[in-house]
Amino acid sequence: MKLSADLKAFEARIGHTFSQPQILIRALTHSSFGSAHREDNQRLEFLGDRVLGLVMAEALLEADPEASEGALAPRFNTLVRKETCADVARDIGLGDVLRLGRSEMLSGGRRKLALLGDAMEAVIAAVHRDAGFEAARAMILRLWGQRINKVEDDARDAKTALQEWAQARGLSPPEYVETERSGPDHAPNFTIAARLETGEEARAQAGSKREAQQGAAKALLSKMGDGA
């Protein structure tokens, strides 16, 4: 089986050439495109999640031999969460090569966080099945790159940190207000303001309210001199 030019380009972006191209095609096939005669990527996603977890657990142990389990856990969760997988997927243009059903494609599936995160895990499993654990490990470490080195900062949940900051100063918990929504229904963009009772606020935009709230909280912490 020969891969199309766009899939060959995708191989180059992830740094792995498949000896079994059908595994890559399966990894990129969403359930909306699958059928009784066409396997989707759900089983690969299940495996890829576990491979990613093992690679990140080892990477964190090696990076900080003195860290306690309590310190490692939030870093691990940050590196393997769906949002991070989706960010990596966007970096490598995974959405452009996803095989989606028509309805999913029309609803903006190529940009959906969950679909991108799941497909990224499936691609990890595909590399593992095609060439073994070490090949998958090398790809993961390459694609996650600096995220691993700066994970201690990113692991701090900004909304929790902002609430703790406010409580420590006798303030009420911050409010999160949606100030604007733009874009079509299938690909909305939210602007959220994080506000303290003292009047300070900061805003952030994202494709989901959760991401926008986290961004606004982080911006407000930075503004108040206590960056997340």
Contacts 24+ apart (CB under 8 A), 56-62: 56/80, 56/140, 56/144, 56/148, 59/141, 59/148, 60/148, 60/151
Catalytic residue among 40, 104, 118, 121: 121
Q: Is 96 a catalytic residue?
A: no
Q: Is 121 a catalytic residue?
A: yes
Catalytic residue among 49, 104, 118, 130: 49
Q: Give residue 103's Cα distance to chain centre.
A: 23
| Distances, alpha carbon 223 to alpha carbons 56, 160, 200, in Å | 32, 16, 9
| Distances, alpha carbon 15 to alpha carbons 116, 139, 195, in Å | 18, 7, 44
Rounded to whole angstroms, how far apart are CA atoms 218 and 228? 6
Residues noted as catalytic: 49, 121
